[in-house]
């Protein structure tokens, strides 16, 4: 991991004039923060500079969202910043902060929090944060023992100590017909299930030091949960951001904390979700399209533990488009 150290060049009057011109469409506070940083090298206000520069590229009606939203705000989905606008943001940041941002590092910046952390590390000369792994719907379908219509993670970003996932409530989920009559509301049990599924993905996909072998997708089950609170009613069209963090992982148990947000609003919180897991047995064959998908009996999801074994299909493979379509956001 390269360590960057940024020392701003002394600011000449000409350079200051150019800075003012470059930042003429940013807020006065942003300009002041840049001048402060360039004159003193004090990095404390720098993440606010970046937010100010992002704000300058947003449509006026989207700007309040940036100001209200937390670090979890997604640059593309929540703010509508496409990759070309991101290049404009980066060019201006590079110019005014005198740093260089690489294309491949740029691709990892998905949320406002990612951007703040990245810039902070760069100007303070700290090591860059771990690069997250992005898992898309096709891979989720290939990896997970849960499958549609009982899969509630549509994309995910994994780090060694955190997983984030997205579930968009499409509105055609069968359980919404009866929950409730003429009044579709996402069940709290499904929220808990979604967090459990994200934890399953974490166990299957993350290489944690506590895991001494690959985890078998057929051997992960729900055991318990504690301190679950639901805070917001969620309906079709809502896009839920799922987050889990491992609290303790020691074979055969994994304990996680989890929470769900919708935009900037809190949806649900679980102090502890506990899963039991086992490793792939020597010689155990994994079906589907490769090493991950399960064969034979599928692991049951957290919500249906004790529901008895049922006949289950082998996991869908990544190219199974019709299945993929069923859980893609509509």
Give the active site residues: 179
| SS3 (DSSP) at 85 | helix
State the DSSP string of 134-166: EE-HHHHHHH-S--TTS----EEEEETTEEEEE
Site membership for another protein, residue 59 (CB under 8 A):
yes
Closest CB 58 distance from another protein, rounded Å: 8
Site membership for another protein, residue 210 (CB under 8 A):
no
Strand partners for 256: 246, 273
Site membership for another protein, residue 15 (CB under 8 A):
no
Site membership for another protein, residue 84 (CB under 8 A):
yes
Count of residues near another protein by CB under 8 A: 11
Site membership for another protein, residue 82 (CB under 8 A):
yes
Structure tokens belonging to residue 115: 């951007």
DSSP 219: G
Of 89 and 199, the one with the shorter C-beta distance to another protein is 89
Site membership for another protein, residue 57 (CB under 8 A):
yes
Rounded CA-CA distance 72/134 in Å is: 15
Cα 8 to Cα 34, 76, 94, 98, 122, distances in angstroms: 11, 30, 11, 7, 12
Cα 320 to Cα 195, 247, 289, 301, 316, distances in angstroms: 24, 35, 10, 21, 6
* Contact stretch for another protein (CB under 8 A) within 11-19, 83-91, 104-112, 216-224: 83-91
Closest CB 67 distance from another protein, rounded Å: 18
Rounded CA-CA distance 201/17 in Å is: 51
Out of 85, 189, 276, 312, the residue judged to bind another protein by CB under 8 A: 85
Site string for another protein, 24-43 (x = CB under 8 A): -x------------------
Q: Are strands 265-276 and 253-262 parallel, antiparallel or unpaired?
A: antiparallel
Out of 16, 18, 32, 88, the residue judged to bind another protein by CB under 8 A: 88
Q: What is the CA radius of gyration of the chain?
A: 23
Closest CB 160 distance from another protein, rounded Å: 32
Of 82 and 210, the one with the shorter C-beta distance to another protein is 82
**Residues of this chain that bind another protein (CB under 8 A):** 25, 57, 59, 80, 82, 84-85, 87-88, 91, 95
């Amino acid at each position: 991991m390269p360590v960057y150290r940024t020392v701003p060049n002394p600011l000449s009057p000409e350079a200051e004039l150019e800075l003012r011109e470059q930042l003429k469409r940013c807020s006065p506070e942003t300009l002041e923060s840049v001048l402060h940083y360039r004159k003193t090298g004090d990095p404390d206000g720098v993440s606010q500079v970046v937010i100010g520069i992002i704000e300058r590229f947003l449509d006026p009606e989207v700007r309040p969202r940036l100001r209200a939203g937390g670090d979890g705000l997604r640059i593309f989905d929540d703010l509508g910043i496409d990759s070309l606008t991101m290049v404009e943001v980066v060019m201006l940041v590079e110019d005014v902060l005198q740093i260089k941002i690489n294309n491949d590092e740029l691709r990892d910046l998905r949320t406002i929090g990612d951007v703040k952390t990245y810039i902070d590390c760069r100007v303070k000369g700290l090591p860059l944060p771990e690069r997250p792994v992005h898992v898309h719907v096709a891979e989720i379908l290939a990896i997970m023992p849960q499958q549609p219509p009982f899969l509630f993670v549509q994309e995910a970003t994994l780090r060694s100590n955190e997983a984030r996932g997205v579930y968009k409530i499409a509105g055609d989920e069968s359980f919404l017909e009866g929950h409730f009559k003429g009044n579709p509301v996402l069940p709290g049990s499904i929220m808990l299930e979604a967090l459990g599924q994200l934890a399953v993905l974490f166990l299957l996909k993350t290489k944690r030091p506590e895991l001494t072998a690959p985890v078998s997708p057929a051997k992960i089950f729900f055991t318990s949960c504690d301190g679950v609170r639901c805070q917001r009613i969620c309906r079709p069209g809502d896009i839920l951001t799922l987050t889990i963090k491992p609290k303790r992982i020691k074979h055969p148990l994994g304990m996680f904390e989890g929470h769900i947000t919708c935009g900037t609003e809190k949806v649900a919180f679980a102090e502890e979700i506990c899963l039991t897991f086992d490793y792939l047995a020597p010689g155990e064959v994994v079906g589907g399209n490769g090493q991950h998908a399960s064969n034979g009996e599928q692991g049951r999801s957290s919500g249906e533990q004790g529901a008895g074994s049922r006949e289950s299909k082998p996991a869908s493979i990544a190219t199974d488009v019709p299945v993929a379509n069923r859980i893609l956001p509509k």
